Amino acid sequence: MDVVKQHLLDHGVKPSFQRLAIMKYLMENRTHPTADIIFQDLYEQIPTLSKTTVYNTLKLLTEQGAVLTIGIDEKNARYDGNTEPHAHFRCRDCGCIHDIPVNTANEIFVEGIGELKIDEVHIYYKGYCKNCASDKN
Amino acid sequence: MDVVKQHLLDHGVKPSFQRLAIMKYLMENRTHPTADIIFQDLYEQIPTLSKTTVYNTLKLLTEQGAVLTIGIDEKNARYDGNTEPHAHFRCRDCGCIHDIPVNTANEIFVEGIGELKIDEVHIYYKGYCKNCASDKN
DNA sequence: AACAGAATTGTACTCATTACAGATTTAAAA
DNA sequence: TTTTAAATCTGTAATGAGTACAATTCTGTT
């Protein structure tokens, strides 16, 4: 069966036309897009798509764990179809976002957390990417 | 000399009346407040204070490394007068934010970052605080 | 086919943050 | 001390991501 459809079903999300399109987009585009970029791109193929649906769907997918919402960009939320544990880097100059292979799952076991019930960890790196760092000589 | 004034000078910030008030507030209130909360509280003592000044000052202080801007809350930016390396926790229920004693400075040395020049790391934990976890029984 | 509930759509709205231009303060020169 | 320019601060208006909501469409079931 379709990988995208199966992914939604695995996370208890009924695979509607729009949900499939958005999930497929995130699985094929590992660019950590904003909701608006997803909307713009999909709107070309699906002219009946509403921006509200994109927001609603991304919220649902995040709640069900089918998608990761990333808060590394102060301006907009970014979305990631890769839910395997990993960290993120963002360039201060060009704003590009890269995956960083850190097993964030290990980070959940922390000293000195008292009685906090931690269930999620986000690690955000900031700095300059290869291109932007070389621009600065 | 005044600790607050010295802190600003150490970070190359000219210690104006407003800047001192905002920096002092952040050093005395380790509650990770929003810009609006800072404004509300200081406005009682300084009725001439402008919200724009609070935003401008927090931006300046962050750029100069005198203050940390925290992105753990999707709604608003939070500010922290403690610039020593540490991580943050936010409760999904009540929204409270706690410091977590993790030496984020160590996290800067990561495998597989390619040629990225990393200069800052943020670690955000999410879950339920002691009070909110017990409410759920 | 008819109905009920779920999903989608479009518009109006909220509200954190920023832009901007005018007023005020600072600090140093004359 | 007065002058002057730069820095800082202020208030209002604008921006723009995200949400509320009510109307519409779709889905699956009797």
Taking CA B83 as the corner, what is the angle to CA B26 and CA A133, rounded to the nearest 5 degrees? Answer: 130
Chain A CB contacts of B129 under 8 Å are: 115-117
Residue B123, CA distances (Å) to A72, B7, B27 in order: 11, 24, 21
**Cβ separation of A124 and B119 shorter than 8 Å?**
no
Would you say residue B19 has pLDDT above 80?
yes
| Per-residue pLDDT at B115 | 86
Pull the structure tokens for residue B12: 């190359």
Supply the DSSP symbol for B107: G
Given B71, B116, B127, which is nearest A118 (Cβ)?
Answer: B127
Would you say residue A37 has pLDDT above 90?
yes
Would you say residue A136 has pLDDT above 70?
no
- Which positions of strand D lie within 7 Å of protein CB atoms? 7-12, 17-21, 27
Residue nearest to nucleotide C17 (CA to C1'): B55
CB B86 within 8 A of CB B101: yes
What does the alpha-carbon distance between residue A45 and residue A137 come to, in Å, rounded to a whole number? 43
Tell me what the mean pLDDT of segment A1-23 comes to.
Answer: 96
Question: Which of A64, A33, A73, A91 is CA-nearest to residue B114?
Answer: A91
Question: Which of A125, A25, A109, A34 is CA-nearest to residue B118?
Answer: A125
| Per-residue pLDDT at B109 | 74
Alpha helix (H) ranges present in A32-127?
Answer: 35-45, 51-63
The minimum CA-CA distance between B1 and chain A, rounded to whole Å, is 34
The pLDDT tens digits of the residues spanning B52-77 come to 999 999 999 999 999 999 999 999 99
The pLDDT tens digits of the residues spanning B82-125 come to 999 999 999 999 999 999 998 877 777 777 677 899 999 999 99
The pLDDT tens digits of the residues spanning A91-124 come to 999 999 999 998 877 777 777 677 899 999 999 9
End-to-end Cα spacing for chain A: 51
Chain A CB contacts of B120 under 8 Å are: 125-127
Which pTM was predicted?
0.93
Q: Which residues contact A23 (CB under 8 A, 6 or more apart)?
A: A4, A7, A8, A61, A66, A67, A81
Is any atom of strand C within 7 angstroms of residue A18's beta carbon? yes
Q: Which residue of A has its CA nearest to B78?
A: A74
**Cβ separation of B129 and A116 shorter than 8 Å?**
yes
Q: Quick one: B136 exposed, middle or buried, by C-beta within 10 A (0-12, 13-18, 19+)?
A: exposed
Report the nucleotide nearest the CA of residue A55, measured to C1': D18
Beta carbons within 10 angstroms of residue B93's beta carbon? 14
State, as a whole number of angstroms, the distance between the CA of A29 and the C1' of C13.
32
Buried (b) or exposed (e) across A31-54, using 16+ Cβ within 10 A? ebbbbebbbeebeeeeeebeeebb
| Per-residue pLDDT at B137 | 53
B137 in contact with chain A, both atoms CB, cutoff 8 A: no
Chain mean pLDDT for chain A:
93
Q: What pLDDT band is residue A134 in, cutting at 50, 70 and 90? A: confident
Question: Which of A93, A90, A92, A91 is CA-nearest to residue A71?
Answer: A90
Phi (first) and psi of residue A89, to 5 degrees:
-120, 140
